[in-house]
């Protein structure tokens, strides 16, 4: 959609609107036409609210950095009065909200024209987006047989396919970075509590979850983070203050950094050879930019962290489901893997939950030591793959199993497929996936960079330097042209 206007990213679209080369109405029309054309193949966009979008335009859009740019919210969290949500679940279908969340209010203040939501797995607990409430899986625009990732899989697919130039996501175990890797996009998880959670929650998953964005360019993410950063009133804690804005940080290269490169998992297990080759190529790129690159295998108890993460998320999943059930039986309303999470949570006494939270905190200190020049590896950046292999085929991480623990930690489970991203949700450190690699089969391969806690500016400055040295924005999936034009959604908002 947006490239037909001569723009490569959301910042470019906003510039066209500012120059009056196009209008918010024209961009919204184009986005809705793109949904009608490609969404039947992708199943990425749901709950369209065209009337709400047109009201926001008619009422006068805020003069923010993305004024007039079409935008989509993830169908999980980001509560908004004008945008009902299924939250990825039949149990929560058509949930409406009495007030806007702090994160949505800040997003709206950028001037975007929000017109719908994007698909998410139930509870946001998987690396693929295949929730029953949407009638089928969400597919990857690069290859429809493969997943677009999760849990922000609909956002990744919508941006990669060109429906919108950027979209909202959230990340509790890699849920922005996994679809960024799967769909060839940029995705960054900020430092814990950099963005607001209120008023509907104090924190997500014991502080491991945070909102984010799927974008083509680093600058789009930088401007959106600047607009949304900061605790909301009553927040239980907040991130260290930024020394400068994200936008200022990307305006010039960072200092020369000490980069630790890991071409295995963080426990030393091998990864897919094509992914390993992409990691090694990224290391050579950074060396060519003058950074000091050396091997690094973090000394941290990843197995302990993954078990604690699994228990915390089981409890969070069970809490959300039980509140929504209001005494009803879950069968037929809740997917099998979520039922398994509820059963796992029922086996976890309160003292185990607190122990798991304590283990996550201990792990954060272990990871901090890796970046400590006095106590650990003395690195500034940890470079790895985002996923251990190219994007999985649709169905591999379906929700048909009730064995929640095996789904997460089994030999073919989520953590084997995605062993890198949740590490930094647990530690709270900023981390990003950059679309630097491609498999022989034409699927994107993401490269993962993480920095010390609070060093968001340094991380995003490095990402921008890499983008300038090895630009990816012109690499797009082939247009989805042979598609039926009857949309999966109506413009009135029915699923």
Over 50: is that where the pLDDT of 241 sits?
A: yes
Residue 331 lies in a domain: no
Q: Tell me whether residue 219 is in a domain.
A: yes
Tell me, yes or no, whether 132 lies in a domain: yes
Instruction: Please tell me the predicted confidence (pLDDT) of residue 151.
Output: 98
Is 434 within the bounds of a domain?
Answer: yes
Please report which confidence band the pLDDT of residue 493 belongs to, taking 50, 70 and 90 as the band edges.
Answer: very low
Phi, psi for residue 263 in degrees, rounded to 5: -100, 20
How far apart CA 287 and CA 261 sit, in angstroms, is: 11
Sheet holding 210-215, edge to edge: 166-171, 210-215, 186-189, 431-438, 444-451, 381-385, 258-261, 292-295
CATH number of 231's domain: 3.90.1300.10
pLDDT of residue 1: 67
Confidence of residue 481 (pLDDT cuts 50, 70, 90): low
Closest of 108, 199, 189, 114 to residue 151, by C-alpha: 189
42-72: per-residue pLDDT in tens?
Answer: 999 999 999 999 999 999 999 999 999 999 9
The per-residue pLDDT for 486 is: 30
Selecting among 74, 89, 101, 439, the annotated active-site residue is 74
Q: Is 433 a catalytic residue?
A: no
Kindly report, residue by residue over 180-206, the tens digit of the pLDDT. Answer: 999 999 999 999 999 999 999 999 999
Cα dihedral 429→432→438→443 (10° resolution): 90
**Per-residue pLDDT reduced to its tens digit, 77-98:** 999 999 999 999 999 999 999 9
Q: What mean pLDDT is predicted for residues 234-259?
A: 97
Residue 168 has pLDDT above 70, yes or no: yes
Q: Is residue 458 part of a domain?
A: yes
**484 has a pLDDT exceeding 90:** no
Return all residues near 187 (Cβ < 8 A) that are at least 6 apart.
156, 169, 171, 176, 177, 179, 180, 181, 212, 213, 214, 215, 221, 432, 433
Catalytic annotation on 439?
A: no
**Window from 12-16, 298-302, 487-491 with minimum mean pLDDT:** 487-491
Residue 175 appears among annotated catalytic residues:
yes
The one catalytic residue among 56, 85, 131, 151: 151
Residue 386, in any domain of the structure: yes
Q: Which of 85, 101, 175, 217 is catalytic?
A: 175
What total of structural domains would you count in the chain?
A: 1
Residue 145 exposed, middle or buried by CB count within 10 Å (0-12, 13-18, 19+): exposed
Between the alpha carbon of residue 124 and those of residues 74, 183, 378, 408, the distances in Å are: 10, 18, 34, 13
Mean pLDDT of the chain: 95
| Residue 114 clears pLDDT 50, i.e. is over it | yes
Beta bridge partner(s), residue 432: 188, 449
Strand 70-74's sheet: what is its strand order? 45-46, 113-118, 70-74
pLDDT tens digits for range 335-358: 999 999 999 999 999 999 999 999
pLDDT mean over 272-282: 98
Which tens digit of pLDDT belongs to each residue from 380-438?
999 999 999 999 999 999 999 999 999 999 999 999 999 999 999 999 999 999 999 99
- Residue 9's pLDDT is what? 97
Residue 314 structure tokens: 């089981």
User: At a CB cut-off of 8 Å and minimum separation 6, what does 108 contact?
Assistant: 56, 62, 100, 114
Q: Write down the residue that tokens 């950099």 correspond to.
A: 194
Share of the chain above pLDDT 70, in %: 97
User: What local confidence, expressed as pLDDT, does residue 485 receive?
Assistant: 33
Does any domain span residue 317? no
Locus of tokens 């200022």: 248
CA distance 16 to 23: 8
Mean pLDDT throughout 115-144? 97
In the three-class reduction of DSSP (H, G, I as helix; E, B as strand; rest coil), residue 209 is classed as strand
Q: Could you tell me if residue 152 is inside a domain?
A: yes
Q: Which residues on adjacent β-strands are paired with residue 384?
A: 448
Closest CA to 37 of 113, 141, 114, 120: 141
Please give the Cα distance from 471 to 466 (Å, whole number). Answer: 8
Residue range of the domain that includes 232: 2-301+358-469
């Amino acid at each position: 959609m947006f490239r037909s206007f001569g723009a490569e990213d959301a910042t470019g679209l906003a510039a066209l609107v500012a120059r009056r080369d196009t209008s918010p109405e024209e961009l919204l029309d184009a986005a809705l036409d793109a949904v009608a054309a490609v969404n039947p193949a992708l199943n990425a966009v749901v709950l369209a609210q065209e009337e709400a979008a047109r009201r926001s335009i008619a009422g006068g859009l805020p003069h923010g950095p993305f004024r007039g740019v079409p935008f989509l919210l993830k169908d999980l969290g980001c509560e908004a009065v004008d945008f009902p949500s299924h939250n990825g679940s039949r149990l929560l279908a058509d949930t409406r909200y009495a007030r806007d969340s702090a994160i949505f209010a800040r997003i709206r203040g950028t001037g975007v024209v929000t017109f719908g939501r994007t698909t998410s797995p139930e509870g946001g607990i998987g690396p693929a987006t295949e929730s029953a409430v949407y009638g089928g899986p969400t597919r990857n625009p690069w290859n429809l047989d493969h997943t677009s990732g999760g849990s922000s899989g609909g956002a990744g697919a919508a941006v990669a396919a060109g429906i919108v130039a950027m979209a909202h996501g959230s990340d509790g175990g890699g849920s922005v970075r996994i679809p960024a890797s799967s769909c060839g996009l940029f995705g960054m998880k900020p430092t814990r509590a950099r963005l607001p959670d209120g008023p509907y929650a104090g924190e997500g998953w014991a502080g491991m979850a945070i909102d984010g964005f799927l974008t083509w360019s680093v600058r789009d993410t930088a401007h959106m983070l600047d607009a949304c950063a900061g605790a909301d009133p009553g927040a239980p804690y907040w991130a260290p203050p930024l020394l400068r804005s994200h936008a200022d940080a990307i305006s010039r290269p960072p200092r020369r950094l000490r980069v630790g490169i890991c071409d295995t998992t963080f426990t030393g297990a091998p990864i897919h050879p094509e992914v390993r080759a992409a990691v090694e190529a990224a290391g050579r790129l950074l060396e060519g930019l003058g950074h000091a690159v050396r091997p690094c295998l973090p000394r941290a108890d990843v197995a302990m962290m993954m078990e604690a993460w699994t228990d915390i998320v089981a409890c969070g999943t069970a809490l959300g489901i039980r509140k929504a059930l209001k005494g009803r039986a879950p069968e037929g309303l809740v997917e099998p893997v979520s039922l398994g999470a509820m059963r796992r949570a029922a086996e976890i006494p309160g003292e185990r939950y607190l122990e798991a939270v304590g283990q996550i905190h201990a792990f954060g200190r272990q990871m901090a030591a890796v970046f400590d020049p006095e106590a650990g590896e003395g690195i500034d950046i940890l470079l790895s793959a985002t996923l251990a292999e190219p994007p999985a085929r649709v169905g591999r991480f379906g929700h048909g199993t009730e064995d929640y623990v095996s789904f997460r930690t089994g030999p073919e489970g989520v953590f084997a497929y995605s062993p890198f991203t949740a590490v930094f949700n647990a530690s709270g450190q900023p981390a990003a996936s950059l679309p630097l690699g491609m498999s022989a089969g034409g699927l994107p391969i993401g490269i993962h960079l993480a920095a010390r806690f609070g060093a968001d500016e340094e991380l995003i400055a490095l990402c921008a330097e890499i983008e300038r040295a090895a630009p990816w924005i012109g690499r797009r999936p082939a247009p989805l042209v042979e598609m039926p034009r009857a949309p999966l959604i109506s413009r009135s908002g029915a699923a």
